[in-house]
Structure 1
Amino acid sequence: MSKLVISTSIFQSQVADLLPCNNHQKSQLTYSLLNAYNLLQCFDNVLSFPYVKKAELLEFHSREYIDYLINSRFNKMLPQDINDNIVEAKWSELIEMADNWNEKVNHEPSQDLQRFTSREDLYNYYQSHLATLENGSDSGSDDDVIVDDGTTDSYILDSKAKQYNLEGDCPIFSYLPMYCQVTTGATLRLLEHLSPADRLIGINWDGGRHHAFKQRASGFCYINDVVLLIQRLRKIKLNKITYLDFDLHHGDGVEKAFQYSKQIQTISVHIYEPGFFPGTGSLDDSRGGKNVVNIPLKHGCDDSYLNLIASKIINPLIDKHDPEVLIIECGGDGLLGDRFNEWQLTVRGLSETIINFIKRYSQAHIFLLGGGGYNDLLMSRFYTYLTWCVAKQFSAIQYQDNDLSQDDPFNIHEDDDSEQLIKEHEFVEMYNEENYQYWIYEMEGSSRMKTLRNDNKVEDIVELMEFYGL
């Protein structure tokens, strides 16, 4: 029997959307759509206040880096001119939209669905809960970190910020320590629901920060929750672990952390072209082994090609490793409609591939984590649909008990995608330019559907099979 646990809430989504590359809306749109489709009712546990102590981050990251990053001087509203390339004020835009919708439909949200109207209120809520968890201590500010002296100079990005790569795509932003501790905690707290009696399927769509390194941030990733999750699993004697990464970008941070481990298998399916970030993940990086597996692809990968990769390469390699735990990074930046416009995977196709892995390795605990994806309206659809697939296939709570079978939004109009509209909810107007259609990015004849040239060949798969001895 599978036990389903997900970490998500108004609080977590608003904290996650402090991250600038989320456009201050990606996580909130996903959480609201999950609620609109009543999917959280299908889970055995929904974690609403995730958190990880600073000391727990040291299980992978260096003390010097964590002391600088998890610092109370960043747990406040920072001067806007510290990062004039990002507009933090956008964070509050969805709040007004939700208020207008609730007023329009005469709906008073329950207490657990009420949004925080300011980042200060969000942080105060965070602190009040920490006080309860830590018996009144403020664990957000440790004695061994730099103390904010209250002057403007304390915000100046010094040489250490550059050393830790806290600039460019990894800027310091307001309440950065809270963001790191909440989104990382959302992954690690899933572990508390492991038990010998049940197979755990744990989900954190705000996780999967696979680029962060031991001593520096990289690629929008500050804390590598994947590595920390694997380290924690090993502590509880779950040693045979496979990490499978579908993000468009190479999972370099996770691979580097375990490149010499025989117990940890890392498999990354990604685009590998000159100048494409992070520039790693070639076959040479794999060194011909079965535990460090790179599957470098070209422009235009589609569902059928990914399925070939899965059946001919990934499945045989995972079979040989025989993992006790399978961690899947469900990045959506390879989806048709993503800003990168490099691959043409569909929401249904990628979701089916992921579900097939969960079914195939039925004895392994499963962790599904988020990742890249830079079309927020598309990503909310993807994570909602994938969550629905998980719930329908594996929920021990009968799907029918939640009245979802009477209004099955993804099957009732199988032959006409245009009839499947986004359900009414507080952010439905965000989808108005897409005519509220759920499948607009993969509907035949849709202006949003674009067919790319697929540069990947079957001969490439044969070459990969020979390289890995399959």
Structure 2
Amino acid sequence: MTKLIISSSVFQSQVADLLPCNGYKKSQLTYSLLQAYNLLQYFDVVIDKPYCSKEDLLRFHSAIYVDQLMKGTLNAVQDYDKSEDDWDQLNETSEHWYDSGDKFRSEKRFHSREDLYEHFKTIEFDQNIKNDSYDNIRLTKRMKLESVTLSNDELLKTFNLTGDCPLFSYLPMYIQVSTGATLALENHINLPSPDQNNSERIIGINWDGGRHHASKQRASGFCYVNDIVLLIQRLRKKGFQRISYVDFDLHHGDGVENAFKYSNFIQTISLHLYEAGFFPGTGDLKNNKSPNLVNIPMLHGLNDTYLRTIVDKIIIPLIDQHDPQIIVIQSGGDGLSGDKYNEWQLSIHGLTKCILELIERFTKCHCVVLGGGGYNELIMSRFNTFLTWNIVRKYSSKVQDRLIKEYIEDGFDYLIPDHEFIDLYTDDNYKYWSYEEPGNDKCKTLRNYNTPKHLEECFTKIFPKKSPPQESVMPPPP
């Protein structure tokens, strides 16, 4: 039996979109499209008030770093960020849609960040956290910067809270909600029972998680807290001995890799773009320690065919070797065709199939699916929804006879259903698959520098005692 868990709500999506790189709309567009297809009703548990404490963050991050992130003065509108216009851009669109017809709003939207924070405080109060527990835990942690006196500017530079990871209004609330949404999934995940036939398999989803760059005391790549590491640590404490982490993001999952690079119990597999000058500049073949620490560096132009070959010939055999009890998947979509990075040309169909293949192949494993990169918000809402829909229609116990009423059809003329943010898809002519439609100027073809020879080199480095895949199963030349 499979049980589906998701952390998703209007509140969570509006908090997640405080993060500037979300374009102030990425999470809200995903949530609204999930609602447009009525997908949340097919989950066994929907977590709508996620939260984690400062103590939870200390399980991985340093005390002095957490102190800086969680300053109470940051839970307010900052002087350099007085305008509500950016964050509030979708509220007017939503109100206009509801006012234009006889439509009933089932969930409250928050029209200012202050209102959002007032709601957050009620959730924080419900957690019944002891006020002195954070200080007690903090004092027991010994960190190398504790004895060093630094100015505030020096601290910000030390923690990289400038540049790509600036401080922003309500940063502590954002961290506690988005990280809490990932950690809340762990509450529903238990060790498999000795009798595998009676085991309940969990598939958990948090599209606002997957912050894979953050390290113990440094923000990086739009990631302030590493929710993935915190989740895996919790699972280990719960008794899970073998965990596999698979990262599909365009960028190397360096923060997760570094956290577990000396562990024999945690397997980290990262497939990413590796080229001179591309962030974060790590993740080449030389540092691999197969099968537990594996990097699969790709070049510009990666397509569906090549990715599928990598999954079948490298990733699945690696996971087979590790024999995990749970798989954590970071499903960043910044490699999708149409993303602002324009480095890979994966389709929504292609990336979804690869992720589903892992879920379907390892049926005795729990699975946690997290979000990650993806900087075309309109594409990401489609991708997250399509992957959710596929998981629901295959695994939901609430789908009668495995049929689901809300279909996402494959035809290029298939339109996105009417919902509160439908007007944002106007430039795509409201088509769900506009970025994959042949001849559409949104569907660009890149030169693929990933050759069969490159795949053979990766395979040989990762599996030095095995023969490379036969030519018949290699991807065609670019």
Is TM-score (shorter-chain normalized) higher than 0.5? Answer: yes
> How far, CA to CA, are the matches of 1:51 and 1:332 in structure 2?
25
> How far, CA to CA, are the matches of 2:16 and 2:132 in structure 1?
20
Secondary structure in structure 1 of the residue aligned to 2:436: coil
Please say if 1:279 is aligned against 2:273. Answer: no
Please say if 1:330 is aligned against 2:368. Answer: no
Instruction: Extract unaligned runs of 5+ from structure 2.
Output: 139-150, 193-198, 467-478
> How far, CA to CA, are the matches of 2:133 and 2:347 in structure 1?
41
Report the Cα offset of residue 214 of structure 1.
Answer: 0.2
1:11-160 correspondence runs (5 A): 11-80=11-80, 89-110=85-106, 113-134=107-128, 158-160=153-155
1:412-437: CA deviation from partner (whole Å, max 9, x where unpaired): xx4x312x111100000000011000
> How far, CA to CA, are the matches of 1:270 and 1:249 in structure 2?
5
The equivalent residue for 2:346 is 345
The equivalent residue for 1:463 is 457
Secondary structure in structure 2 of the residue aligned to 1:193: coil
Report the Cα offset of residue 109 of structure 1.
Answer: 0.5
Letter in 2 for 1:326: I
> How far, CA to CA, are the matches of 2:119 and 2:131 in structure 1?
13
The equivalent residue for 2:263 is 261
Please say if 1:421 is aligned against 2:415. Answer: yes
Letter in 2 for 1:30: T
1:356-403: CA deviation from partner (whole Å, max 9, x where unpaired): 1001010011000000000000000000000001101111112569x8
The equivalent residue for 1:186 is 181
Contact (CA 8 Å) 1:130, 1:138: kept in 2 or not?
no
The equivalent residue for 1:361 is 362
> How far, CA to CA, are the matches of 1:7 and 1:131 in structure 2?
20
Could you say if the C-alpha distance between residues 424 and 61 of structure 1 is closer, same or farther in structure 2, counting changes exceeding 3 Å?
same
Letter in 2 for 1:114: K
Could you say if the C-alpha distance between residues 45 and 344 of structure 1 is closer, same or farther in structure 2, counting changes exceeding 3 Å?
same
Report the Cα offset of residue 465 of structure 1.
Answer: 1.5
Could you say if the C-alpha distance between residues 377 and 81 of structure 1 is closer, same or farther in structure 2, counting changes exceeding 3 Å?
closer
Letter in 2 for 1:181: Q
Could you say if the C-alpha distance between residues 157 and 425 of structure 1 is closer, same or farther in structure 2, counting changes exceeding 3 Å?
farther
Contact (CA 8 Å) 2:337, 2:443: kept in 1 or not?
yes
TM-score under structure 1 length normalisation: 0.91
The equivalent residue for 1:250 is 252
> How far, CA to CA, are the matches of 2:263 and 2:357 in structure 1?
26
Please say if 1:306 is aligned against 2:301. Answer: no
Could you say if the C-alpha distance between residues 175 and 385 of structure 1 is closer, same or farther in structure 2, counting changes exceeding 3 Å?
same
1:388-399 correspondence runs (5 A): 388-399=389-400
Deviates more, 1:157-166 or 1:28-37: 157-166
Contact (CA 8 Å) 1:71, 1:141: kept in 2 or not?
no
Q: CA RMSD in A?
A: 1.9
Deviates more, 1:440-449 or 1:215-224: 440-449
Contact (CA 8 Å) 2:393, 2:404: kept in 1 or not?
no
Report the Cα offset of residue 330 of structure 1.
Answer: 0.3
1:98-128: CA deviation from partner (whole Å, max 9, x where unpaired): 0010000222312xx2100100000000101
Secondary structure in structure 1 of the residue aligned to 2:297: strand
> How far, CA to CA, are the matches of 1:43 and 1:37 in structure 2?
13
Contact (CA 8 Å) 1:13, 1:31: kept in 2 or not?
yes
1:285-328: CA deviation from partner (whole Å, max 9, x where unpaired): 21x43111000000000000001101111111110000001000
TM-score under structure 2 length normalisation: 0.90
The equivalent residue for 1:170 is 165
Report the Cα offset of residue 463 of structure 1.
Answer: 1.4
Secondary structure in structure 2 of the residue aligned to 1:267: strand
Could you say if the C-alpha distance between residues 122 and 142 of structure 1 is closer, same or farther in structure 2, counting changes exceeding 3 Å?
farther
> How far, CA to CA, are the matches of 1:318 and 1:126 in structure 2?
39
Secondary structure in structure 1 of the residue aligned to 2:386: helix
> How far, CA to CA, are the matches of 2:177 and 2:54 in structure 1?
11
Letter in 1 for 2:299: K
1:106-160: CA deviation from partner (whole Å, max 9, x where unpaired): 22312xx21001000000001012212217x779997999xxxxxxxxxx96221
How many residue pairs match? The answer is: 445
Letter in 1 for 2:33: L
Identity level (%): 52
The equivalent residue for 1:227 is 229
> How far, CA to CA, are the matches of 2:114 and 2:108 in structure 1?
15
> How far, CA to CA, are the matches of 1:214 and 1:343 in structure 2?
30
The equivalent residue for 1:408 is 407
> How far, CA to CA, are the matches of 1:90 and 1:389 in structure 2?
33
Report the Cα offset of residue 67 of structure 1.
Answer: 1.0
Letter in 1 for 2:102: N
Letter in 2 for 1:336: S
Contact (CA 8 Å) 2:81, 2:169: kept in 1 or not?
no
Contact (CA 8 Å) 1:392, 1:399: kept in 2 or not?
no
> How far, CA to CA, are the matches of 1:264 and 1:270 in structure 2?
19
Could you say if the C-alpha distance between residues 32 and 18 of structure 1 is closer, same or farther in structure 2, counting changes exceeding 3 Å?
same
Secondary structure in structure 1 of the residue aligned to 2:88: helix
Report the Cα offset of residue 329 of structure 1.
Answer: 0.2
> How far, CA to CA, are the matches of 1:70 and 1:141 in structure 2?
11
Secondary structure in structure 2 of the residue aligned to 1:5: strand
Contact (CA 8 Å) 1:6, 1:47: kept in 2 or not?
yes
Contact (CA 8 Å) 2:274, 2:284: kept in 1 or not?
yes
Secondary structure in structure 1 of the residue aligned to 2:350: helix
Contact (CA 8 Å) 2:251, 2:279: kept in 1 or not?
yes
Instruction: Extract unaligned runs of 5+ from structure 1.
Output: 146-155
The equivalent residue for 2:144 is none
> How far, CA to CA, are the matches of 1:305 and 1:17 in structure 2?
33
Secondary structure in structure 2 of the residue aligned to 1:417: coil
